[in-house]
Amino acid sequence: MIHTIIKKNSYQDSINLMLLTNAVSATEGINKVQVMMGTPANKDIFKSAGLYTEELEKAESNDMAIVVDTDDESKVAEILAKADEYLENQAISGDSETFETVRTWDRATKAQPNANLALISVPGQYAAEEADKALDLGLHAFMFSDNVSLEDEVKLKKKAHEKGLMVMGPDSGTGILDGVPIAFANVVNKGKIGVVGASGTGIQEVTTIIDRLGEGVSHAIGTGGRDLNEAIGAITMMDAIKALEAHQQTDIIAVISKPPAKEVRDEVVELLHNVSKPVVAIFLGEKPTQYEGNVYQAYTLEETARIAVDLARGNEIKPDYNDGDHEAKTINLKPEQTAIKGLYSGGTLASEAAVLISDAMGLGSGIKNEEGFVLKHEGHEVADLGDDMYTQGKPHPMIDPETRASFIEKAAEDEKTAVILLDFVIGYGSHADMPSALIPSINKAVAAAKEKGREIAVIASVCGTNNDPQNYQDQKKQLTEAGIIVKDNNNQAVRTALSVIGLQVEDAQKAHVDAPESTRTFDLTVSEAVQTLLNNKPTVINVGVKSFTDAIIGHGGRVVQYDWRPIAGGNERMRKILNLLK
């Protein structure tokens, strides 16, 4: 039976409610439970999950809805008590906050008059309006929020550019500004390599490898994954490249992008040839055959990091960086075991795996996303489990192991599976100890296959640093002790998986040639507002997820928490009228 509890005027951010759902889901005697705000979009999620009730119609966007499917009515009170305890503990943990909490933009700017960045993580339908307000206040906007329309993104980025500001996002999961981690980010040593990326976990993979190789990062500027879309034209990426060119503490520029629109990509590359600093660039899916002038194009994320490090150290650049030990212990495979199952929490890491597997199979290096899979061919599957289709109303797989655990068990049931390939992305925002959470499911899956006479290799990589809250070496040790083959990075993990099934990638030996003659010149002027952002630790108005303040404060940034609530209780008509009256 399905039971519904509506808690009036009890707004909580979506990440907090996802974690609450996760905390109460393990309650014995519960078939299903979901805790979300009563927005129209969330009501649709309740419907798709089979948890919709008539009582939900009465819930408004500012009301918390708890829906429980259980055969034992007494469990409803237990779930409610656990929810109240969880939220009370959240409130108690905030009693010792070292930052001010406010309820309006006006009070936020008065509390932090020198604020220069708004970190926005409110629900997508409200995010564009809040970013627009931030721009009007002269603030750069870092938009963690997703589900923002392409039309709104174009408007915001054009407005920001005209005002000498930057919009980082929407759906920008990570950033580092002068050593301060922003949103889902890693603790990376400061240094002279500046990174700009239309890719969240791509930035994380490159910056953490740079850190582990002994160099550091001046800034890592996330643009949002659609920035190199034809409609947007790389507005943020172009402005960020110019900013890093002007930044005195940055000697090397690294550019990372998921597959871009060709004309936009070509314009970005032409800009790179017009800057004075050495550049390493990766456009995922492209397999470069040469270096051109000051632009060293890479094929993998590992190669991107290693070229950047050699450039920073003044070393000679090698024609190929994809060496390494890709051998695995001997696995006794049956003839039908020919497939790799890549189950990823990081979208760019999943895409890199799909590129390499496709290349090794002779299918080329282009990729496409279909129904949550970036590769699905002859039993091979690479799934981006952070895709919207898997995270509607659920925590992201970097936070919650449940989705991946079920995929791992399903992969082991497939008689074609030879290798299960996993990523573990650590840092601020991610699960406190994902190996401990997933190892029981891995062991169960491997044991189930063994009972049927099949041996499966489980290969993993960890994306992080030793200074991350979870600690890179500790995470690797746990996985290794569980019998998992652990490689230093995703590129090496994928190539090791390929070696298990007898495949390998043929890498190009890149020659260094002169840059093509530029057909245009670029205005490399950088606004005072952008220079101020890059030459100082950020002063942040955090609009939304309160836990994002931890990393900012812990690394020397200043922050005021804007305790955001939907205008007019989330009533869309009244919200639009009130905005027009301002």
C-alpha dihedral over 227, 228, 234, 236, to 10 degrees?
30
Q: What is the pLDDT of residue 576?
A: 57
CA distances to 131, 138, 174 from 582, rounded to whole Å, are 16, 18, 32
**Please, which residues have CB within 8 angstroms of residue 360's CB and are 6 or more apart in sequence?**
498, 503, 504, 505
Q: Strand 180-183 to strand 174-177: parallel, antiparallel, or no bridges (unpaired)?
A: antiparallel
Compute the distance between CA of residue 489 and CA of residue 197 in angstroms, rounded to an integer.
18
Nearest to 417 by CA among 457, 465, 470, 361: 457
**Please, which residues have CB within 8 angstroms of residue 384's CB and are 6 or more apart in sequence?**
344, 346, 347, 350, 351, 369, 372, 373, 374
Q: What is the pLDDT of residue 579?
A: 57
Alpha-helical segments (H) within 163-291: 200-212, 235-246, 262-274
Chosen CATH of 172-321+524-537 out of 3.40.718.10, 3.40.50.261, 3.40.50.360, 3.40.190.10: 3.40.50.261
- The Cβ of residue 121 has, within 10 Å, a number of other Cβ atoms equal to 24
Burial 348-376 (b: 16+ CB within 10 A, else e): bbbbbbbbbbbbbeebebebebeebbbbe
Q: What is the pLDDT along the chain (582 residues), one digit of tens a residue?
A: 899 999 888 888 777 787 788 778 878 888 888 898 888 878 888 888 889 998 998 888 888 899 999 999 889 899 988 888 887 776 555 544 567 899 999 999 999 999 999 999 998 889 999 999 999 999 999 999 988 999 999 999 999 999 999 999 999 999 999 999 999 999 999 999 999 999 999 999 999 999 999 999 999 999 999 999 999 999 999 999 999 999 999 999 999 998 999 999 999 999 999 999 999 999 999 999 999 999 999 999 999 999 999 999 999 999 999 888 888 777 899 999 999 999 999 999 999 999 999 999 999 877 777 777 999 999 999 999 988 788 776 778 898 898 999 999 999 999 999 999 999 999 999 999 999 999 999 999 999 999 999 999 999 999 999 999 999 999 999 999 999 999 999 999 999 999 999 999 999 999 999 999 888 889 999 999 999 999 999 999 999 988 899 999 999 999 999 999 886 555 555 455 445 545
Q: Which amino acid is at 517?
A: E
Instruction: Establish how many alpha carbons lie within 13 A of residue 80's alpha carbon, considering only the half-sphere containing its beta carbon.
Output: 13
Compute the distance between CA of residue 376 and CA of residue 355 in angstroms, rounded to an integer.
12
Q: What is the pLDDT of residue 572?
A: 56
Identify the CATH number of the domain defined by range 339-500.
3.40.50.261
Phi, psi of 557 (to 5 degrees): -85, 165
- The Cβ of residue 557 has, within 10 Å, a number of other Cβ atoms equal to 21
Alpha-helical segments (H) within 382-485: 388-391, 402-413, 434-451, 472-481
Rounded to the nearest 5 percent, the helix, strand and coil shares of the chain are 40, 20, 40
Q: What is the pLDDT of residue 578?
A: 44
Compute the distance between CA of residue 280 and CA of residue 580 in angstroms, rounded to an integer.
46
